[in-house]
Chains A and B, each alone.
Chain A
Amino acid sequence: MPFDELHVSDDVLALLALGEQAGTDAERAHVAGCALCTDEVASLADVVGLARDGDAALVPPSAQVWDRVAAELGLATTGAPVTETAATPEHTPSRLATDPVVLVPRRRRPRSWGWIAGAAAAGLVIGGIGVGWALTRDDRSASVVASATLEPLPGWDASGSAKVETQRDGTRVLVVDVDEAHLEDGFREVWLLTPDVKGLVSIGTLDGTSGRFDLPAGLDLDEYSVVDVSQEPFDGNPAHSGDSIVRGALRI
Chain B
Amino acid sequence: MSPSGPERSRAEARPSAAVDDRDGDGVDELGTLFAAGDEQAIREAYRRWSPLVHTIALRSLGTVTDAEEVTQLVFVDAWRSRSRFDPSRSRLPAWLIGITRHAVADAHERRARDRRLAAAAEPRAEVAPAGDDRIVDRVVVADELSRLDDPQRTILRLAFYEDLTHDQIATRLDLPLGTVKSHVRRSLARLRTRWEVDGAVR
Interface residues of chain A, those whose CB is within 8 Å of chain B, are 2-5, 7-15, 17-20, 22-24, 26-27, 29-30, 36-37, 39-40, 43-44, 46-48, 50-62, 64-66, 68-69, 72-73, 75-76, 79-88, 90, 106, 108-109, 128, 132, 134-135, 153-157, 184, 196-198, 242, 244, 247, 251
Contacts and interface: CB of A to CB of B under 8 A. Distances in A.
Given A36-B10, A65-B71, A65-B72, A251 B161 contact: yes
Given A7-B6, A244-B62, 5 more contacts: A4-B9, A10-B6, A19-B163, A27-B4, A60-B50
B55 interface: yes
B194 to A, nearest CB: 9
A39 to B, nearest CB: 8
Contact of B163 (A47, A66, A106): A106
Given A43-B14, A81-B47, A134 B162 contact: yes
A56 B182 CA distance: 22
Interface string B3-35: 111111110011000000000000000000000
B157 A2 contact: no
29 contacts: A4-B7, A10-B6, A11-B182, A12-B4, A14-B185, A14-B189, A15-B166, A20-B166, A27-B4, A53-B134, A54-B139, A58-B52, A58-B142, A68-B72, A69-B72, A69-B76, A69-B79, A75-B39, A81-B46, A82-B47, A83-B46, A84-B51, A87-B143, A154-B127, A154-B131, A155-B124, A156-B124, A196-B64, A251-B161
Nearest to B138: A54
B159 interface: yes
B89 interface: no
A50 B137 contact: yes
A56 B157 contact: yes
Nearest to B47: A81
A13 to B, nearest CB: 8
B88 interface: no
Contacts of B2: 5, 26
Given A61-B71, A66-B46, A5 B5 contact: yes
Interface string B129-161: 001001001110111011100000000110111
A55 B135 CA distance: 10
A58 B6 contact: no
Contacts of B134: 50, 53
Given A11-B182, A132-B161, A86 B39 contact: no
Closest 5 CB pairs of A and B: A87-B146, A54-B138, A81-B47, A153-B62, A9-B6
Contact of A2 (B5, B64, B122): B5
